[in-house]
Structure 1
């Protein structure tokens, strides 16, 4: 398969296919004498798997590591469960952080509505941040 066909069937851009190849998500494609990349039919499913893992919260490096473990033949649900647990733990920490930030913003908004704004802005001072 040529790169455009892989991209279309996987629902990504040609640039994404190239990026995934550079980052190791995809093995290096064979090249024709003309220089065109030629991908196997399994490339589409590998891209879909990578996208699914990213949607679950895996970083690209984690995707590469998980796919490498799979390629080496010993990956099972039991042996790889820790990867998903690490993602869940990271998401829980991020949710807790966002919850704290939201609570602080909501309290500040409530104070402002009550006429007790904790933030002061003057035309000559830059905004905080």
Structure 2
């Protein structure tokens, strides 16, 4: 994905699939290195910025937090083993599985609550009662 010329923030956004404001945010928090600027003050991004941004976007799509992505980026540039990356990914997978189990539990509870609701014009509502702790 190497790009031979400098990219504007708009081009970087289109090529990476990341919103311009998100790119600026990633710069502010140090996840994306600040690019050099033109004489007119415009940011001039490189292919390395694009690669890093795509890495960040893909990590976010897999549900990694920004701190976890920062750690993964650190592992990429450091002298760390694949085993260390695997350990981190396995811990993330455990978190995802726990969230899925929680969502399934919530789905069952909500479905059961909805099934008790008669709907219509009644003033009593089992859904509101359940939300109120009843």
TM-score higher than 0.5: yes
Gap change, CA 1:121 and 1:74, over 3 Å in 2: closer
List, as ranges, runs of 4+ consecutive aligned residues in structure 1 with deviation greater than 6 Å. Answer: none
Larger RCO (alpha carbons 8 Å, 6+ apart): 2
Instruction: Describe how 1:63-82 pairs up with structure 2 within 5 A.
Output: 63-71=69-77, 73-82=78-87
Cα distance between partner residues in 2 of 1:13 and 1:107? 40
The reply to whether residue 108 of structure 1 matches residue 119 of structure 2 is no
Contact 2:113 2:127 in 1 (8 A): no
Unaligned runs of 5+ in 2: 1-5, 119-123
The two structures have a TM-score, normalised by structure 1, of 0.78
Instruction: Describe how 1:1-129 pairs up with structure 2 within 5 A.
Output: 1=6, 2-71=8-77, 73-112=78-117, 119=126, 128=132
RMSD between aligned residues: 2.5
Unaligned runs of 5+ in 1: none
